[in-house]
Structure 1
Amino acid sequence: DELQADASDTVFTYVICAVCPVRDGKQELGYFSGENEFHGYAASQLVGSPELGFMFPAFDNRMANIHNALLYSKNAAQIHHEFIDAVFHTEAPLSAEEQKAAFQTALAEALDKSCSFDVVQAVHEQIRERIVQHKESKDPEPLDITAREVGEILEKSGISETQVQAFKERYAKEFGEGAALNPSNIIDSGKFELVTPQVKVSVDPEYSYMLETKIINGKKYILIPADEGLEVNGLNVTINNP
């Protein structure tokens, strides 16, 4: 049957290491039934949830992979390079935050003045759409994206072939030739945010297509349609014709 077809006669043996903080217990008031009295007491030490850890070997393609280990970090922005170097004696991979920063740098420097609102909006929307479709498909294989695929998005957005090639070269420099990234590491699929020195605007990514930029009388504006109602601090307001 289906269960037996998916079974294996190979035993997966592994080691899990968890690094947990230990803190002194707090002084509390407790009731001692034998003495019929309340006394102060404190647990000597308490073990907190893991800050980091790893499983070795990794489990890839239904078998042990002794060349890889699965690393866990409570804070995705801190993967503890010193721990990886001390335990595995290898260069640590980029954290999700570092991947996002490197991707944005590659995009901004390669496109220069062509890194417009419309281009960034298109990149965000199309990568987000891939994330949504992959989640809905329930595909067990992890989703990834390459420089070539991002380059195709840029080309469709009107970016020149020279600048697309410059992006691919910068991407390869940051992540390695042919590297594939987790799309969730390079964009925030749950947020679309615009920031100026004076204003911050957050928009549901599903409706980011409604935003547009325009230059009016020499000034740059971000336009947001408000035909279906507008609230200011929870109060319904109207927009009057001039």
Structure 2
Amino acid sequence: TDYNFIITALCPVNLRIDGLIYNEQDNSIAKKESCDRIVELPSDGFLFPLFNDRAPDINGVLYYTKNAKKPNTSVVEELLGCEFSMTCQNEKETFKDILTNVVGDELDYDLITTVNDKISTFVDQNAHETEIPTIDEHKLSSILWEAGVSQDKLENLPKVFDAAAGGKPLTAVNLVEKRTVVSAPSITVNIGKDAVDKVKTQVIDGRKCLIINLDDPEIEINGLETTIK
């Protein structure tokens, strides 16, 4: 099968400036500008049709953007006539905003890691489905309830979810954090998925502490094997 396609690159264009010249009539130094135009690297582009399963697919278009975190939605919606969907990073930030605005002061280490684990399990359970698993308002409400969020907090979820995501479900796999990162000024602790239960927060003698289980025999500090005495 022949694959005939259209590939388009949208490139910023600037006038070329060669430098300065001496203007004898005015006895002055002037900027020399030519009519040459410099074509810069593409900021956006698209390929149509897609190439799927070794054949053209007219039901899709491949879109390119220079900045994946800030795609040009006008190109997607106005030029290509497609409905814009949030990027992975956009969905992750939207999800964080929803959690912050709904859960508020109930957010802690156990709740955050439990919610992440439940979404990860949901993704794994639906890995073989034809449709990509998504998290809508009702599914998120169920996950938060199972994680221990109070009913009073969950009453605010519908309006918060609608305002943040426009009522559209979020792609579940985009919300999963592969590592739990605990950050404080000058300190960052990366916790793998299998070690979440080895870390907890606790107040000791009035001070907020992060407790890390170091009972494993192999411990390294700056790449050097060591022991805890």
Instruction: Describe how 1:67-78 pairs up with structure 2 within 5 A.
Output: 71-73=63-65, 75-78=67-70
* Displacement after TM superposition at 1:73 (Å): 4.2
Instruction: Describe how 1:150-169 pairs up with structure 2 within 5 A.
Output: 150-169=140-159
* Displacement after TM superposition at 1:70 (Å): 5.4
2:220 is paired with a residue whose SS is: strand
Deviates more, 1:216-225 or 1:164-173: 164-173
CA distance in 1, matches of 2:47, 2:170: 21
Evaluate the alpha carbon distance shift between residue 122 and residue 226 of structure 1 in structure 2; reply closer, same or farther with a 3 A threshold: same
The total of aligned residue pairs comes to 198
Query: Residue 76 of structure 1 contacts residue 96 of structure 1 at CA under 8 Å; is this kept in 2?
Result: no
CA distance in 2, matches of 1:154, 1:180: 16
* Displacement after TM superposition at 1:14 (Å): 8.7
Evaluate the alpha carbon distance shift between residue 105 and residue 89 of structure 1 in structure 2; reply closer, same or farther with a 3 A threshold: same
- Of the three residues 160, 179, 183, the one matched with 2:172 is 183
Aligned CA-pair RMSD: 3.6
Instruction: Describe how 1:97-108 pairs up with structure 2 within 5 A.
Output: 97-108=89-100
The yes-or-no answer on 1:202 pairing with 2:203 is no
User: Counterpart amino acid of 1:152?
Assistant: S
Residue identity (%): 20
Evaluate the alpha carbon distance shift between residue 20 and residue 100 of structure 1 in structure 2; reply closer, same or farther with a 3 A threshold: same
CA distance in 2, matches of 1:119, 1:18: 46
Offset from partner CA, 1:56-97 (integer Å, 9 cap, x none): 69x9xxx965xx755454653232224225414677433222
The yes-or-no answer on 1:129 pairing with 2:115 is no
Q: Which runs of 5+ in 1 are unaligned?
A: 1-10, 23-47
- Of the three residues 9, 14, 18, the one matched with 1:19 is 9
Higher strand share: 2
Query: Residue 179 of structure 2 contacts residue 193 of structure 2 at CA under 8 Å; is this kept in 1?
Result: yes
Q: Which runs of 5+ in 2 are unaligned?
A: 13-40
- Of the three residues 39, 46, 52, the one matched with 1:53 is 46
User: Counterpart amino acid of 1:142?
Assistant: I
2:173 is paired with a residue whose SS is: helix
